[in-house]
Structure 1
Amino acid sequence: MTTASETALDDAVGESIESAQEHLRARQAPAGWWKGQLRTNVTMDAEDLLLRRFLGILRADEVEQTARWIRSQQRADGTWATFTGGPGDVSVTTEAYAALRLAGDDTDAPHMVAARRFVLAEGGLEATRVFTRIWLALFGEWSWDDLPSMAPEFVLLPKWMPLNVYDWACWARQSVVPITVVATLRPVRPLPFTLDELRTGARPKSKSGLIPAAFNLLDRAFKMYDALPVNPGREHAFRRAAEWILARQEADGGWGGIQPPWVYSILALHLLGYPLDHPAVKAAIDGLEGFLVRENTPDGPVRWLEACQSPVWDTCLAATALLDTGMRDDDPMLDKAIDWLLAEEITVHGDWSHARPGLEPGGWAFEFANDGYPDTDDTAEVVLALHRVQEDRPEVKAAVDRGIAWLVGMQSKDGGWGAFDADNTRRLVEKIPFSDFGAVIDPPSADVTAHVVEMLAQCGLAEHESTRRGVEWLLRAQEPDGSWFGRWGANYVYGVGAVLPALIAAGVPVDSAPVTRAVEWLTAHQNDDGGWGEDLRSYVDDSWRGRGESTPSQTAWALLALLAVDPFTSAVERGIAWLVDDQRADGGWDEDLYTATGFPGDFYLSYEMYRIVFPVSALGRYFAAVTGDV
């Protein structure tokens, strides 16, 4: 028997869905896509100023607006962090401090004193990551001699040899190739000030162990080679590096659609003698404009740089969310989204084909322009959406079939899926002195593997060998407490939110031990207010697993998992009520906390659309279950 409170909740959910649909309708671009803002931390903005200063193209208005933004992100303790509410980070704070010095901020100003006090307490410039010290070296604030050697000759290594270009994850290899050029040419263009006030005089810490020690010896050998009056093969390596970089430049002028390889590739080409008006360099610098966000604030205009943009990801998730609400696929909003997604299919070979040379293309990338690096996660989610509207559209079915074939071919030997490459699991590159920041390889992860498994199962391939191997991988990857690690989202809530719907879709019984343990973990971590949240510190501190302030996206992830198992529980009802109560009048949700992950433990993201698309999916699936329209 349905109670009055349950009826009231169901009515409220229906109203919430209608409001959210109209919110999405208002946010859709005329071409059919959605794209929310993608926030990271202020190193993107500091490095943008430093890049332009190094190239000699920095304008006064750019300095003023970016500095105003950086100041606005400083916390009360004088630090800058990698995510909202997180601990201060010495590298981020150092780069922000350097950018504000460039803007003319007085070192005796209270905000600069507070930042400097933190940096010195954390070990000074000497405690920063290698990437930060590379930027310091460009301006003479760090010695190139005290950085790890990064020889461009490594671009010449065959792919069967350890440490070759394709041993690195795609995001890492795209940065490492140009960095080897920059670090070998060792340019210095001094600033009109020094950062001596941030030095402690200590030696930077180095990795311990036999393998790091061996790499340190190799580093000394490379330094001796660099010091020779003649370096055989060096010019050939430079040419090959430039060719490698230019071959991967995208239509928007960038590389991989992400900031790090973009800026390092500009620096490398510039230092190799390509003038600023060379078509490739000009396109790269001009292309950065499309990643800049300009806003008016009470203190004046600000500008900040998106590290990446997510239109394909946002659009396929929005399409799925709308379909989950029961929207007809001939609604103009959905129809335009599907047409746009079809046009974004990548039909050329990219770096992924080095591991799978015989595989035909058929994937989607994350960004507007990134034909070289489609990823399995986007492709799985795009195919999930397209599959639901393919019945009367042969061109959609053909794209679905190509996407499925590509994903099956991208499965790694162990049965899981990495994001961009297959079998990118050689861990040796993690040991070299240069690798002190973020993930540098792309092994299979639970969230990506789950998305592919769910897609295959929903497309009628639950018994396919690839699906079964993927399920086995997921069952092996379950944590002892019943959760799954979330590589690309925060964190164990994201992992469970991805895996449980996949396992159920693939036919794993709802009363099986793995499913039961995961459900128990989720219900045990539901907050008193009915929502779910998980602090990003769970990546480095197990005490934060499943713990944190409730957020719309994380609450929705937990609900999507529970709804797949049993939609008629008090935990589901309380979570749905939290989403309804937390919704804004305009149909959206607020979410200040970061819930996405670039590099676990080091680099985090906030996707603006997460707070909308995932709650809409959860509400839609709940409403379908309670109304019988499944």
Structure 2
Amino acid sequence: MEFTQDTFRPKRREICVDNFREPTFAEVYRTIDMAQKLLLSHRKKDVLWDYPASIGTHFMSHYMLIMNWLGISTAFDKERLRKMLLKTQLEDGSWQQSKDINLSTGDINVTVFNYWGLKVMGEPINSSPMRRAREFVVSEGGLEKCAVFAKLILALYKNISWSHVPYTPYIIFSERMIMNYRSFSQWVIPHMFAIAYMRHNRLSKSFGPEYDLSELRRGQLDPLLEPKTPHELIDGIIIKKMLENQQPKGTWGGYTVATLFSVIAMTDFTAHHDKYKKEIQRSIQKSLKRVHDLYFESGEGAYTGHAMDSHYWDTILAGLALVESGYDRKKLRPTADYILSARNPKTGGIPFGFDFEYAPDVDDTAEALLFCASIGMPKRELNKAASWLMSRQSKDGGFGAFDKNNTGNFFLRWITKNLSDSAALFDYSSPDSTGNVMEALASIGYNKENSRTIRRGIRFLKKHQTPQGSWFGRWAINHIFGTACALIGLVTGGEAKDEGYILKAIHWLKSIQNPDGGWGESTKSYHEKNWQGRGFSTPSQTAWALMALIECGLADTPEVRFGVRYLLEEFKKNGKWQDQYVVGTGHPGLIYVEYPSYPYTFPLIALGKYLKAISGK
């Protein structure tokens, strides 16, 4: 695949599947053995894995600005952050939210935060990096074009007026209202209370010139709205709800950003009122320690924007990778027991990581079920999780991640329409989550003949297949992931591999294979259709495509062998698999997540499936 320097759009050329060396059993066995040993060397406490997922270094700039606004001194290494920011700046002066080598430019919001962070840390404003960043922001429309998320912090420092930030009425936080905050997605709710409080009371302070960003505006600063004194009763209700919702490790919802926003709100309230003061002080102390540990004490994840704990998810994937690639099942029983110990006692659902225990999700639960079934755990151990999964099916036949039928309504979509530039507000059913659930249920004996859940899932996937044959990927990039999950779920759920729409999806996957044998897809695919399935190859995305093709009975085909060759060569080159750009999705088209666990696990799963399929010929 070639990317032209002027447009950075992909140009296809035919793949010659005869011009590669066929993978041998010995090579595959050897690579699996080395990959298993590497994965096992990362195991902690003999049962778990923890690879810090990150959402970008600009969240370090964001953290520094919030802590300075709060007047709280921090011990993190500012020089280390400064060097990281300068190193990751692109030629046009911008920064990307997460690395995507397919693209030559970045994001205005990320660039504003990193420019601002460098300015506060003393980077000369007329230096080349600062000048280029400034020119990029202005060329993109200036501060006025920033998303609401960025405007929240800009307004705190009086760089824009709070009039540019949508107002969230407190009435939606009343459970007595039919249309209340609980109608939003799991990941939005923890942020909402603090954001509403900040906007309602128009929090802002004046600081020195290093915090002023007037050079990034294209127009005049609108009149600033004066801060309000919080009402002890009305605002106190919001603060009380926030205190009640803090999770055991100290975060709100499991997210660092929601936690920092909550600290801002509670700090402001306690500056005016003594109500809840001691409770607030304990809460803030606990929460700031947790954020510090995630951001700066997370090993290789330090200073990268490690925004949430994902160790249950990492552990599940590592266990799956080992068992699928032939590792002794008995040795993985302690890992399975550890995962099952995290089950929600009421539902049997599995959480993503620490502080997500209150909100188990279908993807973690589905993959945990698949893993536990793969090592031969008794079905009685798995029935509760399976029953919970089936109970999460939405009216449309698909599955969302955390909730079912979480699509909002006209009123909620209208009052939050201006927030959609910063987050996915609702938890719609997705092809990838639906496929994952179907595969998990199939692993313990369910199929379309004996399960209405699977039959409804099949109808959902048929309805949401694109004309080209692919499926959208909600939680990873993008159509490669969605198509892989959908195909695997359909075939394991009992659909015939020669169904017309299955063949169409297979054809699409084959058609986008890169000349190096791998598969790749850029973040750009969420914005432009012609980027779907296009991008430089990555081991994780290659593994997803291979897993689907192998499940469809195509292990002994040139395309699969070529893809396996790509994985073998990539491992040989680096002594491990590395994704050259981000492949995980947080909010489609907005925020992407770098999951370090993915290249350690998915390629190993793919090679294990390949070896079993070929050996069983």
Q: Same fold by TM-score, threshold 0.5 exceeded?
A: yes
Paired residue for 1:239?
Answer: 236
Q: C-alpha offsets along residues 32-67 of structure 1, whole Å, 9 cap, x if unaligned?
A: 111223232233111110121112113375433333
Correspondence list, 1:608-627, <5 A: 608-627=596-615
Would the alpha carbon gap of residues 372 and 577 (structure 1) be closer, same or farther in structure 2, given more than 3 Å must change?
A: same
In the other structure, the counterpart of 1:492 is: 479
Paired residues of 2:160 and 2:221 also in contact (CA < 8 A)? no
2:143 maps to amino acid = L
What is the aligned counterpart of 1:35 among 30, 50, 54? 50
What SS class does the counterpart of residue 330 from structure 1 fall into? helix
Q: Quick one: structure 1 residues 142 and 276, their matched pair in 2 at CA, closer, same or farther if it must change by over 3 Å?
A: farther
Once residues 285 and 204 of structure 2 are traced to their aligned partners in structure 1, the CA distance between those partners, rounded to angstroms, is: 22
1:37–1:309 CA contact under 8 A, matched in 2: yes
Q: How far did residue 550 of structure 1 move? A: 0.6
How far apart, in 1, do the equivalents of 2:132 and 2:228 lie? 46
State how far apart, in whole Å, the 2-side matches of 1:156 and 1:294 are. Answer: 38
Query: Match of 2:337, as an amino acid?
Result: D
The Cα shift of 1:153 comes to 3.1
Q: Are residues 295 and 73 of structure 1, via their aligned partners in 2, closer, same or farther at CA, if it must alter by over 3 Å?
A: farther
Query: Structure 1 residues 343 and 78 mapped into 2: Cα distance closer, same or farther (>3 Å)?
Result: same
Task: Name the residue aligned to 1:353.
Answer: none
Deviations 1:426-469 (A, max 9, x none): 25434433332221110100000110011111111112111211
Supply the AA of the counterpart residue of 1:421.
Answer: D
Q: Distance in 1 between matches of 2:520 and 2:229?
A: 58
Equivalent residue, structure 1, for 2:404: 422
Whether the 8 Å CA contact 2:202–2:227 is kept in 1: the answer is no
State the Cα distance separating 1:159 from its structure 2 match: 4.9
**Taking structure 1 as reference, are residues 363 and 77 closer, same or farther at Cα in structure 2, changes over 3 Å only?**
same
Task: Indicate the residue corresponding to 2:81 in structure 1.
Answer: 66
- The verdict on how the C-alpha distance between 1:8 and 1:437 changes in structure 2, with shifts beyond 3 A counting, is closer
Q: Does residue 1:125 correspond to 2:128, yes or no?
A: no
| 2:288 aligned to which of 285, 289, 300 | 285
Residue 398 of structure 1 and its aligned partner are, at CA, apart by 4.3
The residue type equivalent to 1:239 in the other structure is: G
Name the CA distance, whole Å, in 1 between partners of 2:315 and 2:229.
53
Corresponding pairs, count = 581
Q: Is the 8 A contact 2:47 2:335 kept in 1?
A: yes
- 1:372 is aligned to 358
| Alpha-carbon distance in 1 for matches of 2:321, 2:193 | 39
Do 2:203 and 2:228's aligned partners in 1 also have CA atoms closer than 8 Å? no
> Is contact 1:91–1:128 with CA below 8 Å preserved after alignment?
yes
Deviation per residue, 1:115-163 (Å, 9 max, x gap): 00000111111111111111011112122233222233321253522xx
C-alpha deviation, 1:190, in angstroms? 2.1
CA deviation map 1:56-83 (0-9, x unaligned)? 1133754333333222221222111123
Contact 1:126/1:203 (8 A) holds in 2: no
2:460 corresponds in structure 1 to: 473
Q: How does 1:431-510 map to 2 (within 5 A)?
A: 431=414, 432-462=417-447, 463-510=450-497
| One-letter amino acid of the counterpart of residue 182, structure 1 | M
Contact 1:159 1:165 (C-alpha < 8 Å) held by counterparts: no
Q: 1:627 to 1:120 in 2, by over 3 A?
A: same
Q: Is 1:102 aligned to 2:88, yes or no?
A: no
Q: 1:230: Cα distance to partner?
A: 11
CA distance in 2 between counterparts of 1:62 and 1:178 reads: 28
Could you tell me how far apart the structure 1 residues matched to 2:75 and 2:372 are?
47
Matched, 1:51 2:66: yes
Aligned residue for 1:556, secondary structure, equals: helix
Structure 1 unaligned blocks of 5 or more: 205-222, 348-359
512-521 or 32-41: which moved more? 32-41
Q: 1:9 aligns with which of 24, 40, 49?
A: 24
8 Å contact from structure 1 (residues 63, 103) kept in 2: yes
Q: 1:411 to 1:580 in 2, by over 3 A?
A: same
Give, in whole Å, the separation in 2 of the partners of 1:285 and 1:461: 45
Q: Distance in 2 between matches of 1:399 and 1:227?
A: 58
Report the CA distance between 1:253 and its aligned residue.
Answer: 0.6
Distance 1:165 1:386 in 2: 35
Residue number among 578, 584, 599 corresponding to 1:590 in the alignment: 578
- 1:228 and 1:618 mapped to 2: Cα distance? 56
Q: Which amino acid aligns with 1:44?
A: F
Q: Work out the CA distance in 2 between the residues paired with 1:202 and 1:168.
A: 35
Shift of 1:235: 4.8
Counterpart residue number, 2:565? 577
SS in 2 for 1:433: helix
Residues 262/551 of structure 1: CA separation in 2 closer, same or farther (3 Å cut) = same
Conserved? CA contact 1:589–1:612, under 8 Å: yes
> Could you say which residue in structure 1 is the equivalent of 2:38?
23
Alignment of 1:174-189 (within 5 A): 174-189=190-205
Deviates more, 1:65-74 or 1:592-601: 65-74
Tell me the SS of whatever aligns to 1:489.
coil
The amino acid across from 1:322 in the alignment is L
In the alignment, which residue of structure 2 is the partner of 1:519? 506
Q: 1:346·1:371 contact (CA, 8 Å) conserved in 2?
A: yes
CA 1:61–1:385 in structure 2 vs 1: closer, same or farther (change >3 Å)?
closer
Residue 336 of structure 1 is aligned with which of 324, 334, 337?
Answer: 334
Q: Flag the 1:514–1:239 CA change in 2: closer, same or farther, 3 A.
A: same
Q: Shift in Å at residue 364 of structure 1?
A: 1.1
CA RMSD of aligned residues (A): 2.6
Q: 1:53 to 1:8 in 2, by over 3 A?
A: closer
1:400 aligns with 2:400: no
Q: Give the letter for the 1:147 counterpart.
A: V
1:203 is displaced (CA, Å) by 9.0
1:390 deviates by 4.1
Amino acid in structure 1 at the alignment position of 2:198:
V
Query: What amino acid is the match of 1:282?
Result: Q
2:263 maps to 266
Q: SS where residue 303 of structure 1 aligns? A: coil
Question: Among the aligned pairs, what percent are the same residue?
Answer: 31
**Which residue does 1:529 correspond to in 2?**
516
Give the 3 Å change call, closer, same or farther, for CA 171–626 of structure 1 in structure 2: same
What CA distance in whole angstroms lies between the structure 2 residues aligned with 1:559 and 1:381?
Answer: 18
Q: CA deviation at 1:183?
A: 1.3
**For residues 184 and 593 of structure 1, do their structure 2 counterparts lie closer, same or farther at Cα, with a shift above 3 Å needed?**
same
Match of residue 12 from structure 2: none
Q: Tell me if 1:318 matches 2:318.
A: yes
- Please say if 1:565 is aligned against 2:552: yes
**Offset at 1:335?**
2.9
Question: 1:367-412: per-residue Cα shift (whole Å, max 9, x none)?
Answer: 1232222111111111111122344xx5xx4441111111111111
Note if contact 1:153-1:237 (Cα within 8 Å) is conserved in structure 2.
no
Contact 1:365/1:375 (<8 A) preserved: yes
For residues 258 and 408 of structure 1, the distance between their equivalents in structure 2, rounded to whole angstroms, comes to 27
Greater Cα shift, 317-326 or 51-60: 51-60
Is the partner of 1:278 in helix, strand or coil?
helix
CA drift at 1:227 = 10
For 2:523 and 2:355, the matched residues in 1 are separated by 29
Instruction: Report the alpha carbon displacement of residue 328 of structure 1 after superposing the two structures with TM.
Output: 2.0
Shift of 1:103: 0.8
Partner residue of 2:273?
none
Q: 2:525 aligns with which of 535, 538, 551?
A: 538
Mark the CA change 1:276 to 1:491 in structure 2 (over 3 Å): closer, same or farther: same
Aligned equivalent of 1:352: none
The equivalent residue for 2:251 is: 254
Partner Cα distance (1:424, 1:151) in 2: 20
| 1:189 alignment partner, SS class | coil
Classify the secondary structure of the residue corresponding to 2:344.
coil
Which ranges of structure 2 fall in alignment gaps of 5 or more residues? 1-17, 271-276
